[in-house]
Structure formats: C-alpha cells, structure tokens
Amino acid sequence: SVEVQNGGTVEESGVVVVVTLEDEEVRETLPSIPPGGTAEARLALGAVPEAGTEVSLEVLGEPVAGEAITDDNEFTYTVVFG
C-alpha cells in the first residue's frame, strides 16, 4: 500500500494513484482525500521480486482537475523485498 497526501486546501475526489514496479503498472482510484489529509491506496502486485532484490518503485498521483502544482505528484523509491 502507499499513502497519498492532499497538500491543497480543498477536498480532492477521484484521485488516480499509479504504482510501477519493474514492468508492472497497477492503478487505484481513491474516492476522496480531505484538504491536508491522506488516503491509503492498496495496490496488489502480480509478481514480487525475489527476497533481497533491489528495485525501483515509482508512485504517481495523476493530476486532478484544476491542479496547478504537479511537481510533487511523482516519486521514485529504491526498495528491497524481504
């Protein structure tokens, strides 16, 4: 799961979260996130790398209507599965 934060001052609805691990992309639409609040996206991956494998995990919150600042919508993490 990944936690997504609404850094704005209005409630956002229909927020699409995209997680990419190696060649697999999974999506979930969060119904709403209150202003300044967070919501959890639970995304099921089809294949998990072998234990001890280091991979890049990309997380994207797709822009919502009227969103002016999008440079904090995408992050890449290096993760190790155990």
pLDDT-derived band at 81, boundaries 50, 70, 90: confident
Question: Phi first, then psi: what are they for 9, rounded to 5°?
Answer: -110, 5
Q: How far apart are CA 71 and CA 20, in angstroms?
A: 18
pLDDT of residue 79: 93
pLDDT for 71: 93
Any residues with CB less than 8 A from the CB of 66 and at least 6 apart, and which? none
pLDDT tens by residue, 1-45: 999 999 999 999 999 999 999 889 999 999 999 999 999 999 998
Residues 6+ apart with CB under 8 A from 12: 6, 32, 33, 64
Query: What separation in angstroms does the CA of 50 have from each of 15, 54, 74, 75, 79?
Result: 31, 9, 25, 23, 12
